[in-house]
A and B are shown apart, each in its own frame.
Chain A
Amino acid sequence: SYELTQPSSVSVSPGQTATITCSGDVLAKRYARWFQQKPGQAPVLVIYKDSERPSGIPERFSGSSSGTTVTLTISGAQVEDEADYYCYSVPDNRWVFGGGTKLTVL
């Protein structure tokens, strides 16, 4: 079965760049998506197809891919970006989630 691995936590100061990685063999052949989830709220899509940003998502959110790793970058992170972030991919019509990364902006 496929697995996606994320760091459990990332911490930055406001205005700094936050980088969250997601690694797994499936990413070499399937796109990844990134979700942001704030406490008590449903997940919100912030990146799809590795690097595409949905309308309404701030430009400071970007994604990239290299081999079996995708990266979510938040340039100039703001306090309101503090949340859990999940990557996921869909190999063989089955979803696989990363374990989630808690981003602290403090």
Chain B
Amino acid sequence: EVQLVESGGGLVQPGGSLRLSCATSGFTFNRYWMSWVRQAPGKGLEWVANIDEHGSEKNYADYVKGRFTISRDNATTSLFLQMNSLRVEDSALYYCTLGDYWGQGTLVTVSS
């Protein structure tokens, strides 16, 4: 059974940083692109970033480019999202996904 479990969310002040993690199991992690997608309360799904199987290609949405960094550890089948210079508008539920399967999300709240 595929499992994706996000962690690391919380309350942070504007300008602060958070590191999200996604622990995975049940599939061959090093064969899949992985992505982060977010959803603000009451809003639609919004793609954030993705990374290829080896960690060599990374793509970012314009609204997070230069502030967020996606990475992965194939040895521990984990996905990460380092979020710096956080803004109020980054507040959302952040999902880890490989496309067909999604985690339950971790909530990030940016507020003073």
Binding site for B on A (CB under 8 A): 1, 33, 35, 37, 42-45, 48, 54, 84, 86, 88, 93-100
Contact = CB atoms under 8 A, between A and B. Distances in A.
Contact of A95 (B47, B100, B102): B47
Interface residues of B, number: 22
B102 A42 contact: yes
Interface string B5-47: 0000000000000000000000000000101010000001111
B104 A42 contact: yes
A45 B37 CA distance: 14
A95 B60 CA distance: 10
B1 interface: no
Contacts of B50: 93-95
B45 A97 contact: yes
A61 B59 CA distance: 32
B6 to A, nearest CB: 10
A91 B16 CA distance: 32
Contact of B57 (A1, A88, A93, A99): A93
6 contacts: A35-B45, A37-B45, A43-B95, A43-B102, A93-B59, A97-B47
